[in-house]
């Protein structure tokens, strides 16, 4: 790893310039919990590491226009400490807080998790179900893009040369809306998700689902936003029938592989199980948010 | 060949520390090989075992996942700074009393991680302690005596708040 | 929580009034270990030290056609490069230096491949350079031409007649006639008793099962590390994290063609071993590199190298058939074990065969074992080598038998239990064993009667390990102020240093703080067999006790001299020499008082004892485990675990509990999640702690222990080895609990969620 150079810009524009100058070998650095592992194993070669953590907008959680803005290099543990964020988006926060160990939590960021583009990333299903958008900064200026458009394949993003994610935006929350994220791992901690399921629900005063988003992780090359699964819930009181249809829709959408972490058959079954359980969890939480 | 070495100024265990490092070297490399602080251990180099745990600007991290250059201007606390001169921290003392170490290799990381736990949660339940420490692998003890030592130290620290608080 | 249950003491020195032994003093090396000061292998540095690294085969099986190091030698900073050509070509020779005999030629070829790479990760060259970057660059520039060969890792595939052959001159040993064709079956062993056919004919009930396990690694958190330095006069020094400095000296002498007297090995503190550090990997390479360039060389493995290139233990395929009468008496047992040896012969199938039925008194049985080579890393010892694997199969079958008979699992084991006077399945007659007491301890434990909820199940399993004695040397020297130093040659992997000090302190009548133990290098203490086989507290402890007793005899003689009385007129009581005749009016003389005058009474006071300890007591364990299974995800939660073990005498109960808890944790990991995964190309797929899943703190509950003390009268304080027994029962204890929870038997470890979910779906 001693071929790399390092720079810590103090503004987003400086970071863009550094990334452009570094060309194909330049990498933005958030928490480093993926980047350093990949550099050490030789999976990635870098010429220049551009640290984002000294850019003011890249760290911190801010309430803006009823929604939230999360700096790209904000560590997961800081999200868990933010009370209002946890109340509005318990699913997003719990997903981010499942990444790795407490030590990894002290560094790893959701934007880093997203841009690492692993099919099994924990924060991504929750961000997608939350309809999160990303503020991208690059040579052509700033643009917003939905979270699910960032990842195009395992390890590949849609970001152009010189571009990086500076902020993640979460939309304002209506009343009686809540989300949840569950994952299946062999141990109780420390594992990459074998399956991840995020459900984001909005209820009316009678407890009927008026809006739903369901996203699945680790069952396809990228996170799957499953409209059929959401449709199974909308208009229902989340009864057994709706949950059964949700289970079926979730399973039908899966395109998993078999690998050392799980078989395709297992992943498909568990996707249905976790979708049901996450929906139930989100429903219970939403009912309390008035 | 290798990039130009970088000068880093940081505060390590309360004292100013300056060193030169390759930009690609980790904080763990710098602590062990350059500063001679070999208490933090490399068990895996990939952030999966916690043996390299340190506290960076108040946050528990794996030093193998931090570049040495990222420590510029920051505070680093390692196992070597845990005792107060010759006086062991209650966690260190309880680990000894409970026989919470066998080979001792994971012990520095576990002590640093436990200290970080008690700083955010002075009264953890057994489950909270286990989940917080899940990133610190121990192959010798089965964790039983470690958890007992941590909960016992927590109880002791709650009883004497004025005496034992660390200041860095 | 721990209970200690005792029979009346029958050990020679245990008079029931022990002052130190049986207590829980703080370990003497503790302060250094909790402050980060203790020096492990990678913590050493010497001036001018080079970085050594290893180039490893990326192929599971390949002929090494050529190795060209010219481009690598040209890298600035590279000072030495070695390949097999730099080591003597050894003849095949069985040599005992480690925990069991090794074939020196195989060991040499494992340390550095000659002619063939036999597994992904096999060392093919090594370099020493002035920096890590230079060493990496040099490794990349070593040009190796391989002829890739078909590989085989699956055991039964390796046994098939058309399997790719690893060794063209390997003919199965242990058969009636030497076969005319080579094979991957290195050895077949057999233990029989009685008449199997008759035994099964007598049975009212028969159970049969086929059981499979995967290779698992010892998983010590500290990677292998050493520093070696070779002086111009041919004298070498090695610092290494190892279970045996004398073993390192012996192997390095042979592998490099040196005299033992020219190698001095200092044991660093060791970050876990569990048997995996009872052999050499880096030390011969570091020595060879240092010899070539004259500078010290440090070599530290990465975690990936530890997994790819150091011994896991065997994966196995096993069949067990048991027959029993309606009252639970087992009449016949037919066990076949096929163990994976890795690239060279030497799996622990022999020990697995000997221990498989060791808990049972069965009149008719056959145990057949096969040692099978495969294109995977050469296996190394792992805590009771071979026994946990066989116990998984046998204890699962016994559980099925109990179910079929409607018998309680403890009751069926009690019915067939070995006792004092029983002839063990592996030969000797048991004496002073505590197996029945251990079964009773579990049967009587509140855990066994605790209610279970839905989706929960309880499993019981028993286990056995021989424990060994062997050669040890210890010295006890007194200082002028009457304090003592205890010197041994056994690396401390679990707190044995404390036990040595405790036993010496007990004999000398001194407080612990006045007795300092040290672990010395090969030049500073007489020979000791390595730390392993649960032998240190037993055998080295015996040497310590005898040395301390010699010191006591010397103190009595000097005390009598100072008192001017005859030697038979004094006794040694509570750390002082006491005149037995009060009429003489002589005051007691403490050790300190006598030591202060040692020059006048004959010189420095000390003694050294070398012995071969006999009479090691075997150990038995009985475990009970409760699990809850999530029927939709297949996830297993271990709710509660209690382990009872016959420990003889717990010299330091906290460290004995620790050994039990640690072994249980490893066994639980082995049962639920740990396994070597190989790709179709024969390369290890999960060579890291992310995907090689050892238990983390949140995976386990508190582990309750019951220390059953049935004294071993052949140890002065009654100690039996304790470290290995605890890993033997958990595999079946967990598997039996899962069976109870889901109503279906799984016979393939690990019991990962996909397998459990599939079993539930197939019900």
Contact residues on chain C for B129, CB-CB shorter than 8 A: 697
Residue C399 tokens read as 């559980």
Q: How many CA atoms lie within 13 A of C336 on its CB side?
A: 7
Mean of the pLDDT values across residues C425-435?
95
Nearest CB partner across the interface for A270, out of C633, C686, C761: C633
pLDDT digits (tens, 9 = 90+) for C445-475: 999 999 999 999 999 999 999 988 999 999 9
Residue C447 tokens read as 């855990």
pLDDT at C531: 92
Substitution target in B51, B103, B124 with the highest count of C β-carbons within 10 Å is B103
In chain B, at which residue ranges do the beta strands (DSSP E only) sit? 6-12, 15-21, 53-56, 59-62, 75-77
CA distance to partner chain B, nearest, from residue C436 (Å): 26
Mean of the pLDDT values across residues B28-46?
98
3-state secondary structure C400-462: HHHHHHCCCHHHHHHHCECCCCCECCCCCECCCCCHHHHHHHHHCCHHHHCCCCCCEEEEEEE
Residue A33 tokens read as 């919990």
Question: What percent of chain C is modeled with pLDDT above 90?
Answer: 93
Q: Are C227 and C238 in contact (CB under 8 A)?
A: yes
CA distance to partner chain A, nearest, from residue C216 (Å): 15
pLDDT digits (tens, 9 = 90+) for C49-75: 999 999 999 999 999 999 999 999 999
Name the average pLDDT for chain C.
96
User: Is C724 among the catalytic positions?
Assistant: yes
C493 pLDDT tier (thresholds 50, 70, 90): confident
Q: Are A1 and C137 in contact (CB under 8 A)?
A: no
Name the DSSP class of C313: B
In chain A, at which residue ranges do the beta strands (DSSP E only) sit? 5-7, 26-29, 48-51, 61-64, 67-71, 133-138, 141-146, 151-153, 156-157, 164-170, 177-184, 195-203, 209-217, 224-225
CA distance to partner chain C, nearest, from residue B69 (Å): 18
- Tell me which residues of chain A, numbers 153 to 212, contact chain B at a CB-CB cutoff of 8 Å: 188-190
Name the average pLDDT for chain A.
96
Mean of the pLDDT values across residues B19-33?
96
Mean of the pLDDT values across residues C565-586?
93
DSSP-based helix, strand, coil % in chain B, nearest 5: 40, 15, 40
Give the count of Cβ contacts less than 8 A between chain A and B.
Answer: 102
- Please report, to the nearest 10 degrees, the dihedral formed by the alpha carbons of residues B107, B113, B114, B116 taken in order: 150
DSSP-based helix, strand, coil % in chain C, nearest 5: 30, 25, 45
Could you give the CA distance from residue C497 to residue C515 in angstroms, rounded to a whole number? 11
Contact residues on chain C for B39, CB-CB shorter than 8 A: 35-37
Contact residues on chain A for B9, CB-CB shorter than 8 A: none
Nearest CB partner across the interface for A187, out of C132, C699, C761: C699
pLDDT at B162: 53
pLDDT at B88: 98
pLDDT digits (tens, 9 = 90+) for A204-257: 999 999 999 999 999 999 999 999 999 999 999 999 999 999 999 999 999 999
Say yes or no for a CB contact (<8 Å) between B46 and A40.
yes
CB contact set of B125 (below 8 Å; sequence gap of 6+): none
B164 pLDDT tier (thresholds 50, 70, 90): very low
Say yes or no for a CB contact (<8 Å) between C697 and B80.
no
pLDDT at B167: 42
- Tell me the residues of C at the A interface, defined by beta carbons under 8 Å apart: 132-133, 304, 632-635, 637, 672-673, 677, 685-686, 690-691, 693, 695-696, 698-699, 752-754, 757-758, 761
CB contact set of A174 (below 8 Å; sequence gap of 6+): A202
Adjacent-strand bridge partners of C471: C612
**Torsion sign over Cα A76, A77, A80, A82:** negative
Q: Are C339 and C349 in contact (CB under 8 A)?
A: yes
Say yes or no for a CB contact (<8 Å) between C753 and A188.
no
Say yes or no for a CB contact (<8 Å) between B23 and A53.
no
Say yes or no for a CB contact (<8 Å) between A261 and C691.
yes
Contact residues on chain B for C50, CB-CB shorter than 8 A: none
pLDDT at C91: 84
pLDDT at A288: 85
CA angle at residue C356 from C373 to C612, to 5 degrees?
A: 85
In C89-167, at which residue ranges do the beta strands (DSSP E only) sit? 94-96, 101-103, 116-117, 123-129, 143-148
Could you give the CA distance from residue C376 to residue C313 in angstroms, rounded to a whole number? 11
Say yes or no for a CB contact (<8 Å) between C695 and A187.
yes
Could you give the CA distance from residue C76 to residue C73 in angstroms, rounded to a whole number? 8
Contact residues on chain B for C495, CB-CB shorter than 8 A: 99, 102
- Nearest of A273, A259, A276, A67 to residue A177 by alpha carbon: A67
Q: Using the predicted structure, report yes or no on whether residue C250 has a pLDDT greater than 60.
A: yes
Determine the residue of chain A that is closest to B26 in CA distance. Answer: A36
Q: How many CA atoms lie within 13 A of C187 on its CB side?
A: 15
Q: Are C157 and C163 in contact (CB under 8 A)?
A: yes
Contact residues on chain B for C643, CB-CB shorter than 8 A: none
Q: What are phi and psi of C745, to 5 degrees?
A: -90, 125
Residue C611 tokens read as 């012995």
CB contact set of A90 (below 8 Å; sequence gap of 6+): A178, A179, A180, A285
Say yes or no for a CB contact (<8 Å) between C697 and B78.
no
B168 pLDDT tier (thresholds 50, 70, 90): very low
Could you give the CA distance from residue C144 to residue C156 in angstroms, rounded to a whole number? 32
Q: Does residue B59 have a cis bond before it (omega within 30 degrees)?
A: no
Could you give the CA distance from residue B157 to residue C177 in angstroms, rounded to a whole number? 72
Name the DSSP class of A259: B
Nearest CB partner across the interface for A184, out of C633, C672, C758: C633
- Nearest of C486, C470, C488, C487 to residue C538 by alpha carbon: C470
pLDDT digits (tens, 9 = 90+) for C667-711: 999 999 999 999 999 999 999 999 999 999 999 999 999 999 999
Q: Are A115 and A128 in contact (CB under 8 A)?
A: no
pLDDT digits (tens, 9 = 90+) for A74-98: 999 999 999 999 999 999 999 999 9
Residue C724 tokens read as 């290995």
CA angle at residue A99 from A95 to A103, to 5 degrees?
A: 135
How many Cβ atoms from other residues are within 10 Å of residue A64's Cβ?
A: 11
pLDDT digits (tens, 9 = 90+) for A147-201: 999 999 999 999 999 999 999 999 999 999 999 999 999 999 999 999 999 999 9
Say yes or no for a CB contact (<8 Å) between C30 and B101.
yes
How many Cβ atoms from other residues are within 10 Å of residue A233's Cβ?
A: 27
Q: Using the predicted structure, report yes or no on whether residue C170 has a pLDDT greater than 50.
A: yes
pLDDT at C96: 76
pLDDT at A2: 57
Determine the residue of chain B that is closest to A8 in CA distance. Answer: B70
Name the DSSP class of A117: T
H or E stretch including C56?
strand C50-56
Q: Using the predicted structure, report yes or no on whether residue B161 has a pLDDT greater than 90.
A: no
Contact residues on chain B for A2, CB-CB shorter than 8 A: 2-3, 22-25
pLDDT at C51: 98
CA angle at residue C517 from C513 to C518, to 5 degrees?
A: 145
Could you give the CA distance from residue A144 to residue C461 in angstroms, rounded to a whole number? 60
Could you give the CA distance from residue A212 to residue A233 in angstroms, rounded to a whole number? 7
ipTM of the complex, rounded to two decimals: 0.96
Q: Using the predicted structure, report yes or no on whether residue C348 has a pLDDT greater than 70.
A: yes
């Amino acid at each position: 790893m001693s071929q790399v150079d390092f720079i810590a810009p103090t503004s987003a524009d400086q970071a863009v310039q550094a990334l452009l100058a570094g060309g194909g070998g330049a990498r933005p650095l958030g928490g480093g919990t993926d980047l350093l592992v990949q550099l050490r194993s030789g999976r990635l070669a870098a010429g220049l590491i551009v640290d984002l953590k000294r850019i003011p907008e890249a760290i911190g959680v801010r309430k803006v226009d009823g929604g939230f803005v999360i700096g790209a290099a904000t560590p997961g543990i800081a999200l868990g400490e933010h009370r209002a964020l946890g109340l509005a988006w318990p699913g997003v926060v719990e997903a981010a807080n499942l990444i790795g160990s407490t030590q990894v939590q002290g560094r790893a960021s959701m934007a880093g998790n997203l841009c690492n583009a692993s099919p099994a990333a924990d924060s991504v299903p929750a961000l997608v179900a939350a309809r999160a958008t990303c503020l991208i900064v690059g040579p052509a200026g700033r643009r917003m893009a939905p979270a699910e458009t960032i990842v195009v394949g395992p390890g590949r993003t849609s970001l152009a040369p010189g571009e990086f994610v500076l902020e993640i935006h979460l939309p304002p929350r209506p009343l009686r809306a809540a989300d949840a994220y569950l994952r299946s791992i062999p141990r109780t901690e420390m594992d990459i998700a074998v399956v991840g399921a995020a459900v984001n629900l909005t209820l009316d005063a009678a407890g009927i689902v008026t809006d739903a988003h369901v996203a699945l992780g680790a069952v396809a090359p990228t996170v799957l936003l499953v409209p059929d699964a959401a449709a199974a819930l909308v208009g229902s009181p989340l009864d057994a029938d709706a949950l059964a249809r949700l289970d079926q829709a979730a399973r039908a959408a899966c395109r998993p592989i078999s690998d050392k972490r799980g078989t395709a058959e297992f992943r498909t079954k568990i996707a249905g199980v976790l979708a049901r359980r996450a929906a139930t969890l989100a429903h219970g939480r939403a009912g309390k948010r008035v | 060949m290798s990039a130009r070495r970088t000068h880093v100024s940081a505060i390590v265990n309360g004292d100013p520390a300056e060193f030169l490092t390759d930009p690609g070297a980790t904080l763990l490399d710098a602590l062990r090989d350059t500063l001679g602080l070999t208490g933090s251990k490399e068990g895996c180099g990939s952030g999966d075992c916690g043996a390299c745990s340190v506290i960076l600007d108040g946050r528990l991290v794996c030093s193998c996942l931090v570049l040495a250059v990222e420590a510029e201007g920051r505070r680093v606390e390692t196992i070597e700074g845990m005792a107060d001169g010759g006086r062991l921290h209650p966690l260190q003392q309880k680990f000894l009393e409970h026989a919470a170490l066998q080979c001792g290799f994971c012990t520095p990381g576990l002590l640093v991680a436990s200290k970080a736990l008690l700083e955010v949660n002075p009264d953890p339940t057994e489950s909270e302690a286990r989940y917080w420490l899940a990133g610190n692998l121990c192959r010798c003890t089965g964790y039983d005596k470690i958890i007992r030592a941590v909960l016992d130290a927590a109880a002791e620290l709650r009883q004497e708040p004025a005496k034992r608080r660390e200041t860095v | 929580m721990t209970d200690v249950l005792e029979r009346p003491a029958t050990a020679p020195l245990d008079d029931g009034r022990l002052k130190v032994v049986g207590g829980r003093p703080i370990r003497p090396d503790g302060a250094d270990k909790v402050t980060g000061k203790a020096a492990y292998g990678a913590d050493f540095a010497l001036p001018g030290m080079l970085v050594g690294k290893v180039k490893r085969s990326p192929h599971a099986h390949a002929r090494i056609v050529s190795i060209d190091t010219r481009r690598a030698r040209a890298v600035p900073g590279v000072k030495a490069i070695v390949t097999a050509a730099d080591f003597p070509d050894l003849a095949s020779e069985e040599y005992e230096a480690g925990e069991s005999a090794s074939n020196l030629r195989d060991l040499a070829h494992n340390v550095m491949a000659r002619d063939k790479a036999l597994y992904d990760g096999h060392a093919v060259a090594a370099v020493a350079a002035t920096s890590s970057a230079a060493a990496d660059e040099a490794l990349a520039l070593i040009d190796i031409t391989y002829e890739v060969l078909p590989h085989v890792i699956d055991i039964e595939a390796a046994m098939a007649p058309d399997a790719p052959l690893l060794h063209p001159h390997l003919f199965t040993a242990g058969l009636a006639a030497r076969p005319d064709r080579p094979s991957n079956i290195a050895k077949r062993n057999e233990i029989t008793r009685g008449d199997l056919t008759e035994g099964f004919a007598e049975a009212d009930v028969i159970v049969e099962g086929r059981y499979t396990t995967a290779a698992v690694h010892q998983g010590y958190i500290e990677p292998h590390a050493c520093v070696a330095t070779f002086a111009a006069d041919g004298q070498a020094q090695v610092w290494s994290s190892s279970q045996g400095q004398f073993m390192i000296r012996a192997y390095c002498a042979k592998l490099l063609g040196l005299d033992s007297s020219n190698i001095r090995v200092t044991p660093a503190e060791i970050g876990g071993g569990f048997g995996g550090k009872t052999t050499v990997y880096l030390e011969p390479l570091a020595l060879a590199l240092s010899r070539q360039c004259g500078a010290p060389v440090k070599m530290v493995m990465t975690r990936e190298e530890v997994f790819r290139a150091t011994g896991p233990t065997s994966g196995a395929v096993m069949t067990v058939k048991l027959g029993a009468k309606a009252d639970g008496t087992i009449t016949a047992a037919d066990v076949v074990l096929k163990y994976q040896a890795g690239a060279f012969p030497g799996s622990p199938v022999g020990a697995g065969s000997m221990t498989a039925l060791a808990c049972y008194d069965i009149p008719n049985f056959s145990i057949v074992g096969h040692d099978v080579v495969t294109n995977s890393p050469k296996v190394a010892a792992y805590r009771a080598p071979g026994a946990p694997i066989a116990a998984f199969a046998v204890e699962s079958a016994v559980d099925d038998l109990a179910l079929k008979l409607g018998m309680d699992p403890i009751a069926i084991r009690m019915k067939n239990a070995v006792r004092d006077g029983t002839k063990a399945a592996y030969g000797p007659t048991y004496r002073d064993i505590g197996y029945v007491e251990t079964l009773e301890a579990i049967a009587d434990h509140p855990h066994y009667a605790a209610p279970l909820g839905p989706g929960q199940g309880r499993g019981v399993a028993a286990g056995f390990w021989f424990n060994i004695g062997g050669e040890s040397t210890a010295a006890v020297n007194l200082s002028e102020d009457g304090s003592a130093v205890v010197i041994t040659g056994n690396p401390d992997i679990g707190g044995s240093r404390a036990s040595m000090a405790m036993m010496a302190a007990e004999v000398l009548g001194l407080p612990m703080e006045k007795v300092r133990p040290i672990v010395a290098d090969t030049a500073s203490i007489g020979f000791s067999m390595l730390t392993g086989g649960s032998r240190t507290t037993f055998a080295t402890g015996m040497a310590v006790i005898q040395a301390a007793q010699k010191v006591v005899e010397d103190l009595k003689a000097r005390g009598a001299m100072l008192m001017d009385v005859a030697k038979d007129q004094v006794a040694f009581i509570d750390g002082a020499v006491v005149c037995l005749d009060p009429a003489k009016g002589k005051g007691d003389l403490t050790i300190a008082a006598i030591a202060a005058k040692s020059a006048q009474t004959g010189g420095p006071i000390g003694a050294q004892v070398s012995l071969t300890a006999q009479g090691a007591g075997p150990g038995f364990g009985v475990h009970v485990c409760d699990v809850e299974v999530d029927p939709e995800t297949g996830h297993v939660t271990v709710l509660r675990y209690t382990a009872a073990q016959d420990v003889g005498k717990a010299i330091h109960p906290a460290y004995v509990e620790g050994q039990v808890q640690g072994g249980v944790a490893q066994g639980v990991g082995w049962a639920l999640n740990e396994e070597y995964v190989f790709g179709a190309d024969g390369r290890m797929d999960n060579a890291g702690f992310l995907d090689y899943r050892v238990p983390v703190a949140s995976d386990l509950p508190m582990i309750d222990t019951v220390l059953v003390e049935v004294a071993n009268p052949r140890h002065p304080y009654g100690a039996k080895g304790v470290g290995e027994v605890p890993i033997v029962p958990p595999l079946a204890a967990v598997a039996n609990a899962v069976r109870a929870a889901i109503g279906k038997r799984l016979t393939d470890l690990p019991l990962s969620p996909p397998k459990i979910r599939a079993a539930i779906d197939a019900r």
